[in-house]
Structure 1
Amino acid sequence: MTKYVIQVSEDKNSLAFAASDLIAQIIESTLRNKSRAKIALCGGSTPKAAYSLIGKKNLKWSNVDLFLGDERWVDNKSQESNCFLINNSLFQEGNPSLSASFFSVSTVELASPEESAEDYETILKNNFDANLPRFDLILLGLGDDGHTASLFPGSDALFERDSLITVGEGKGLKRITFTSKLLSSADNVIFLISGTAKQTALRRLLDKSESWERTPAKLVAPSSEIIVLADKDAYPSL
């Protein structure tokens, strides 16, 4: 049974500070025991604010490898792209974080979303020693429909158990996404959740009786506890 540890911030701004501090702590802790820290990032306005903060921190960024947990099959310069978001938050000019290694998803320059998924899976396997990569940290958001990464309710991607990367579809767009198997293979998993629109999805995520078919975020089930960083708008009961 997956255990969730909930930390509630006063508002979206304080949530961003809490998230950036916790991410920094995990990077520093990892690099005390390993030569490199491997982190999967998510998109969204809440993590974007945290990335803008953490990018300014003086960490050992040259020892950090950054990946994307999912990406829309659009040009990486499109404002709908998670790559665009990362480049315009974490990698702002002058940030120490610019010395990190960032492995973006090749999208429309390839022939199909399926080819993009295969290409990104190869990149992952080339950067990890094991057949099943184990990230030091995976950051995730939560959609108001219960999706996480690009695992949407009703999508065939929910049922992919063999591959590390697959093609999902949501809100009219094809997407390249980590599978549930890969999302569950991490030493640390953090959900970043803010806003009143997320209340129902968060309640369902924490409900032991909730099905993963309706709330795909329930598929994320690492051996360690999951940290949920939320603001009071998303989790008003504390």
Structure 2
Amino acid sequence: MALTQQHFDSADALTEQFATTLTRLLKEGIDKRGRASLVVSGGRTPLALFKTLSETELEWSKVDITLADERWVDESDEASNTRLVKQNLIQNKASEANFVSLKTDHNDAADGIAEAESRLSSLTQPFDALILGMGEDGHTASLFPCSAQVEDGLNMSSGKICIAVQPTTAPHQRISLTLPALLNSRNIFIHLTGDAKKRVLEEAIANDTELDKPVTAVVNRAPVTLMWAP
């Protein structure tokens, strides 16, 4: 386990430093490999980060952006992570970035897996940077401890890039990158704010199994940087 913790006095200070770090990593990816790839998560926590990144000077036309997970809803739905990313990140200077959606036109996420995996295969891998969030139940991406699919999602030898997930404690069917797909990243960040989330993470690492708190599966297997502010 290798968890590096970066604590900031405020969410604004975190956002400023995190945006600087991500810009540097993406620039390095472009300089070394011609393109860079960024995997992000939805929710309210990264909104300020997305807006700051969108104003950053970078060769955005050489950056591919995708999601760690997506709710299986239309982009017009307020629950759509795709909508959130397009409205907050793929804007301003970052409007030239290439967004790769996990959501397909299939009615069931399970039927869209092959197409989603094909889309992801076009991205530079390992991903240059992965930003994960975490729920109060210890889920990350859409690897929910309450779901029947969590074991499949954490399986390191399945060869799967994406799985369909049906949480029992949250709305909407989901599509999620699997644990091995998430770990296929050069730089992994967990982005949290507030004491409660930090406490959940620390207690999960200390006391819980990976099936109980899937976020621990990431921390157990790769160097991870926690970006946290009160």
Q: Does TM-score exceed 0.5, indicating one fold?
A: yes
CA shift for structure 1 position 199:
3.1
Contact 2:192 2:198 in 1 (8 A): no
- Secondary structure in 2 matching 1:230: strand
> 1:181 aligns to what?
180
Q: Residue type of the partner of 2:202? A: R
CA-atom RMSD in angstroms: 1.8
Point out the structure with the larger helix share. 2
Paired residue for 1:214? 212
- After TM superposition, the runs of 4+ consecutive aligned structure 1 residues lying more than 6 A away are none
- After TM superposition, the structure 1 = structure 2 runs for residues 56-135 of structure 1, keeping only pairs within 5 Å, are 56-92=55-91, 95-107=92-104, 109-127=105-123, 133-135=125-127
Asked if 1 retains the 8 angstrom alpha-carbon contact of 2:39 and 2:68, the reply is yes
- Are the equivalent residues in 2 in contact too, given 1:16–1:46 (CA < 8 A)? no
Does the Cα contact within 8 Å between 2:183 and 2:222 map onto a contact in 1?
no
Give 3-state SS (helix, strand or coil) of 1:190's partner. Answer: strand
For 2:9 and 2:204, the matched residues in 1 are separated by 21
Shift of 1:53: 0.2
Deviations 1:14-72 (A, max 9, x none): 22222211111111222221111011111111211101001101101111111111000
Q: Deviations over 1:155-190 (max 9, x none)?
A: 233222321100122303210000011111111101
Q: Given the two structures, how large is their TM-score scaled by the length of structure 2? A: 0.90
What is the alpha-carbon distance in structure 2 between the residues aligned to residue 21 and residue 206 of structure 1?
28
Is 1:155 the equivalent of 2:151?
no
> CA contact under 8 A between 2:36 and 2:64: conserved in structure 1?
yes
Cα 1:220–1:29, aligned 2, differ >3 Å: closer, same or farther? same
For 1:121-151, what per-residue CA distance to the aligned partner results, in whole angstroms no more than 9, with x for missing partners?
11112445xxxx4211111001111010000
Fraction of identical pairs, as percent: 26
Tell me which of 114, 118, 128 is aligned to 1:136.
128
Gaps of 5+ in 1: 234-238
Which AA in structure 1 matches 2:95? L
Give the Cα–Cα distance (whole angstroms) in 1 for the partners of residues 20 and 204 of structure 2. 24
Extract unaligned runs of 5+ from structure 2: none
